[in-house]
Each structure stands twice: as structure tokens, then as C-alpha cells.
Amino acid sequence: MTRPPESRPARRPGRDRSISLVSTALLDDLLTNTLDPGYRSAHDRGLPRHWWDGPLAAAGALLIGLVLVLAYQQTHRSAPAREAARSDLISRIHDLQKAGGTLDDRAKLLGAQVAALRDQQLSGTDRTSLRAAELAAGSTAIKGPGMQVDFGEPSSTPSATVGERPGLSQQPFIHDVDVRAVANQLWLSGAEAVEVNGIRLTSTSAIRFAGDSVLVDFQTISSPYTVRAVGDRDKMQLAFVDSAIARRLKTMEAVDDISFSFEGRSSMSLAAAAVSQPGYALIGVAPSASRSPR
């Protein structure tokens, strides 16, 4: 390795004529003349020494030390504040989720009380027709034979957490479209009631996404996903095996190493959905009595 001479005079223009390109000369100058040219020219001019040389250098060094320690403190002072804000936000999210869960439980309890009181007032036939309507709307817990589809992200990918902050994993393989396709396929195969990760689907349910997480009726669910459907289990299984989404999940199982399985169940119970009472919709005129619009 060749090195430039130790004390090399400042490069004057016109030297190194072999280097014709200005940019190359500039880079060459940058790499070889690392010392501030001021030192060399001051030395060459032979400036006289002053009494304030020592204090001046000391003052400069003091300033530099201050700048360095200032930057260090600035970097390390703001870091704990950020961390505190982050953990505060996380704890607030958990608190609100807990409060939401408590309210949900209370709503279900009160709903059950209302249903019990209403049952006492209703006659036998009214009760039966109400039960049928509730079953169709999904507002009552049910049980029956059916099938269950389980699928989830690969349990551990070696490169998932390397060099990343905890809590940030790589892009998920399974998206809302896959969960939605499974649910729709089960409806198509004759399911009478469908539940995704314990959340019962109704006629107004939506399976969507926010960022990388899947939302079912605005509640976040995460891998592994379990879709359960009550219905004719033989018919549902036959139709599901042959469906596009089953083939897609099968392929993803082979390629991306996701988990995927489904099986028929002789009996399973599905939770009730929290069905909101319609606020604007009223019962319309029965079709037989309606007049055709002009």
C-alpha cells in the first residue's frame, strides 16, 4: 500500500496535470489532503507566536468538549422520555380494551336479563317465532354439528425478529381477504352460523384490515385464526375441500409454511353476537300488500 508523504505541501492548482477530470481531482484532494490547509499555510507564512495561543487553543478545546457532551446528553435525555410515552400509550390501550371488554360483558348480561323477562311475558308461539328470528339474526348462542378451519402464520421464522424492534414482525402472510374468503366459502357451502376467533358473524359483520391486523366487526384478531361454522358438516367439508380458498391456503402451507387444517365436528357451540338494534330501519309493507310503484 502506497502512502502519501507525511508532511505534504498543500496542493496548488496546476499540480497533477495527469488528472484531467475536475471531479476526480476533487475526490483525490479530499482523500489525500485531510488536514485543514490553514495549518500548512500558517506555518509556511511563519506567523509569530502570541501569548494568547495557549489560552485560545484551550478555549477551543473547551468549546469542543462542551459540544460533544451536549450532543451526548441530548441524545440520551430524549430516549427515556420517548420510551415513557410509548409505555404510557400501551397501558392506556390496554386499559381501554379492558373497559370495552367489561362493557361488552355487561351488555351481554343485561341482554340475557331482558330476554328472560321478555320470555316470561310472551306466549308460547310468540316465543318460538322469536327464537327462530334470533337464530337467523345470530343474536343467540347456538350449538350443533359443523366444521372448523384453523390456519395461522408460521410459528417462528428465523429472520423475523433479527435487527428489528420487538413488536414489529415481518409482513404477515395471511390477510383479511383470506379470513373473509374462508368465512364466505363456509356461508356458500351451507353454513347456518359462522364464528371467527370467537366473534359471531351476522348480516352486518365486516372482516377488514387495519395496518397488518385483521379486524372482525372492528375487533382486532390475530393469528392463529379459527373459523367455525354450524351446518351440514359433510356437505360443508366436501365443498370446502374443493374451494379456491382451500387450495390457496394449501399452497401457502407448502410455500410459506403457514399452518392450515380443517375438520368436521359432531357438536360445537357458537357464542351470540352483540346485535345492535336498528335505529332507523322500520318494518316495511309486506310484499303481498305492496302496490307496484308508478
Partner 1 sequence: MIAALALVVGVVLGLIFRPTVPIWLEPYLPIAVVAALDAVFGGIRARLDGIFNAKVFVVSFVSNVLVAALIVFLGDKLGVGGQLSTAVVVVLGIRIFGNAAAIRRHVFRA
| Site residues (vs partner 1, CB under 8 A) | 3, 6-7, 30-32, 34-36, 38-40, 42-43, 47, 52-54, 56-71, 73-74
Q: How near is the Cβ of 83 to partner 1 at its closest, in Å?
A: 19
Q: How near is the Cβ of 164 to partner 1 at its closest, in Å?
A: 23
Q: Following DSSP, what letter does each residue of 136-172 receive, concatenated? A: HHT-S-EEEEEEEEEEE--S--TTSSTTS-TT-----
Which of 169, 175, 165, 140 is CA-nearest to residue 248?
175
Cell numbers of 199, please? 366473534
157 class by beta-carbon count within 10 Å (0-12 exposed, 13-18 middle, 19+ buried) = middle
Pick between residue 43 and residue 106 the one whose CB is nearest to partner 1.
Answer: 43
Asked if 237 contacts 264 with a C-beta cutoff of 8 angstroms, the reply is yes
Pick between residue 33 and residue 226 the one whose CB is nearest to partner 1.
Answer: 33
User: Which residues are paired to 228 by β-bridges?
Assistant: 148, 195
Q: How near is the Cβ of 25 to partner 1 at its closest, in Å?
A: 15
Q: How near is the Cβ of 79 to partner 1 at its closest, in Å?
A: 14
Pick between residue 61 and residue 206 the one whose CB is nearest to partner 1.
Answer: 61
Type of residue numbered 110 = L
Q: How near is the Cβ of 45 to partner 1 at its closest, in Å?
A: 10
Q: b/e map of 234-243 (b: 16 or more CB within 10 Å)?
A: eebbebbeeb
